[in-house]
Amino acid sequence: MKTVRINDRDVSVIGCGCMRIAGFDEQQTERYIRTALDAGISFFDHADIYGGGHCEELFGTFLKKHPEYRGKMFLQSKCGIRKGFFDFSCEHIIKSVEGILERLQTDHLDSLLLHRPDVLMETDEVARAFAQLKSSGKVLSFGVSNMNRFQMELLEEGSGEKLFADQLQMSVVHTPLIDAGLNVDMGNEAAIMRDAGTLEYLRKQDKILQVWSPLQIGYFEGTFLNSDRYEDLNRKLEELAEKYGCDKDAVAYAWLLRLPLKVQVVLGTANTEHILSAVRAAQIVLDRKDWYDLYLSAGNRLP
């Protein structure tokens, strides 16, 4: 398994997003976790809102029964989303982490991400929360999700804490992070800069891009795999799956991992067969032409 370095640890570039285990029982959860670990996946991504906290509770039940596995995991969770608003207050961050640790039945998180930008964020509030959590050993590193480069810079300057990652939505059919960089000085829709050059910023600052929804069309439109809307893309995925000796989903993940910066792909699946298929992506390096062919077959255009 290919890895990235976080907190002096080698962490898998393929990670399990645990949102979809909410409906599992204990046996299914154990099979899910063991399958991932046996396949070389060490990175598990949670959020306090997933299943209303139940996903973390299920995971914590496993850890209580099998504490010997905790050291093999890089455990991450997210906080900041509340019903109807976002909250980066010191009080809420601290309270959220206490709840996360209790549900996961662990004494620390390897990383905590602030889930969505809080327009009312006061950086001194976040600084106090980060300092308390870090000094107590309850959180080892901090990052963000769905933020642009200027929001990250503002938070770093105000908190004094270096952010190691930004978790953002991307797939071969959801490419606003890429499009504007390809269409500089053009007058078309793709040229609109929607993220302030965040991809380039992450690369320049040696931060990690954590990709969520790597097979999704949008927020609620489902996957592009085998979709009639993306016949050309699926034909190209099938062609490249045969070339690289893997399944189509692995090619789609490899397309993301081919980006020239540190990338972790957060799987949205809880299907153990799909997890095993995804691991193959870490061994694939797409040819440059294959990468662009996939981008174009998804309906994107080059200037």
Which sequence positions are flagged as catalytic? 50
Q: E strands, 81-141, where?
A: 81-82, 85-86, 111-114
Q: Distance between CA 75 and CA 77 in Å, rounded?
A: 7
Residue from 292, 297, 262, 263 nearest 182 by CA:
292
Instruction: Supply 226's token pair.
Output: 């085998």
- ∠ at Cα 243 (286, 232), nearest 5°? 80
Q: Using an 8 Å Cβ cutoff, are 129 and 90 in contact?
A: yes
Q: Per DSSP, what are the bridge partners of residue 44?
A: 16, 75
- ∠ at Cα 107 (164, 54), nearest 5°? 85
Q: Distance between CA 36 and CA 28 in Å, rounded?
A: 12
Q: E strands, the chain, where?
A: 3-6, 9-12, 14-17, 43-45, 74-79, 81-82, 85-86, 111-114, 142-145, 163-169, 208-212, 262-267
Burial zone of 18 (CB within 10 Å; 0-12 exposed, 13-18 middle, 19+ buried) = buried
